[in-house]
A = this chain, B = another copy of it.
Amino acid sequence: MSWTLARRAARLEPSTIREILKVTERPGIISLAGGLPAAEGFPVQAMAEACARVLRDTPHEALQYAASEGFAPLREWVAAEMAAQGLQADASQVLITTGSQQGLDLVGKVLIDPDSAVAVESPTYLGALQAFSPYEARFVSVDGDDEGPLPAALDAARGARFLYLLPNFQNPSGRCLSAARRLALAARAQALGLPVVEDNPYGDLWFDQPPPPPLTATLGDAAVYLGSFSKVLAPGLRLGYLIAPKLLYPKLLQAKQAADLHTPGFNQRVVHEVIKDGFLRQHVPTIRARYKAQRDAMRTALEQHLPPGCRYTVPEGGMFFWVELPGALDATALLARAVDAGVAYVPGTAFYAGGGHANTLRLSFVTVPPERIAQGVAALGAVLAQALQQVPQQAQP
């Protein structure tokens, strides 16, 4: 072949999760591996009515080329919504993106040079690693505890292009950063001159109380904020947004133009039509209630079926439990056995920029109904218990 690949292409790799999901889509498997929201929560009727209205009232505008910045009323909606959450931003700082994955790609394109340090949580969102990797980032993992990354650990990230944080019900760990930790991290980042890229796809999916205000509310021009409609409406529309400092916005906008000219205007108008009169205030609570019940079902099942030595915290929102197995177990190696037993999960190692942590795994509680969650976790518990029995005694922790 006469093609010569760019050096960055060596950093593009098949998504291990997508490869795993292919295996686990065999019929009969209870898949706790997915990262998909529950399709039962999609507002199909509202969408259908909005499509009809948009194509009746503004067909030419909706189907024509449109502004790269995004549909103005949707940008204004985002700015107002953010203000209600304590983040003051002007609509002119809002850039509508083709899913928040595109926001990550644009941030990488504009900010990462080959060998630039990028600080990430440990574990972190795999999609962010995949977005930043082709720009040849060098990842610096920031140590943390159940409340979030440790402020003192940021010192190791001095000089990084930015710190990437997913503070609310993180994928994969389910972790939500405490209010105190957010403030401490913001202060430390500011002291170090370390900008923050704050990603918030799950913040609306809280069960008992909303998460603390975003770090961007404190950091202002030292942060880029990413949001998404994928979890509160539907991911198949590919609609996200970012809020950028005024000095950074033009470069992100130009990168957006180069990437896909603009996010589909039809989708933007349909979503705005769905949400403009407060639809999400009725709709999102129904998703929260569904996910909370399923979270509870998984908690009960984990309490019942996981063998001793497994560690997890109960997520207060989002979509995932994160389980640390006894150190002698390897979640990747055990996956085939679990699938044979009828249950699938995602091994945790792919979520670590530096790999390792073979004894971790992610379980989603949102796409499988409660009775199947119980069944799946029971099968997983049995596989783990059996594996633990096979571990030579001296290797057990």
Contacts and interface: CB of A to CB of B under 8 A. Distances in A.
Interface of A: 1-9, 12-15, 18, 35-37, 39-40, 42, 44, 47-48, 51-52, 55-56, 59-66, 68, 97-99, 101-102, 105, 109-113, 116, 127, 130-131, 133-135, 161-162, 193-195, 221-222, 230, 234-238, 245, 247-248, 250-251, 254-255, 257-267
A42 B60 contact: yes
A36 B64 contact: yes
A260 B51 contact: no
A235 B60 CA distance: 10
A61 to B, nearest CB: 8
A65 B52 contact: no
13 contacts: A3-B161, A4-B116, A5-B110, A6-B109, A14-B254, A39-B63, A44-B63, A47-B55, A61-B236, A105-B259, A105-B260, A127-B261, A131-B258
Contact of A64 (B13, B39, B102, B133): B39
Interface hub of A12, A44, A194 (most chain B Cβ within 10 A): A12
Contact of A236 (B3, B63, B162): B63
A63 B36 contact: no
Contacts of A3: 111, 161-162, 195, 222, 245, 247-248
A44 B65 contact: no
Interface hub of A6, A113, A245 (most chain B Cβ within 10 A): A6
Given A13-B254, A255-B134, A258-B105, A6 B63 contact: no
Contact of A59 (B42, B135, B195, B263): B42
**Which 3 interchain pairs have the tightest Cβ spacing?**
A39-B60, A63-B234, A12-B254
Contact of A264 (B37, B61, B238): B238
Contacts of A42: 59-60, 63-64
Contacts of A235: 63-65
A227 to B, nearest CB: 15
A134 B111 contact: no
A126 to B, nearest CB: 11
Contact of A101 (B1, B14, B66, B261): B261
Nearest to A160: B4
Interface hub of A130, A234, A260 (most chain B Cβ within 10 A): A260
Contacts of A266: 234, 236-237, 267
Given A6-B111, A260-B260, A266-B267, 20 more contacts: A2-B195, A6-B110, A6-B116, A9-B111, A15-B254, A39-B63, A42-B59, A42-B63, A52-B52, A63-B237, A64-B236, A65-B235, A98-B263, A99-B261, A130-B258, A236-B264, A237-B266, A238-B261, A238-B263, A259-B259
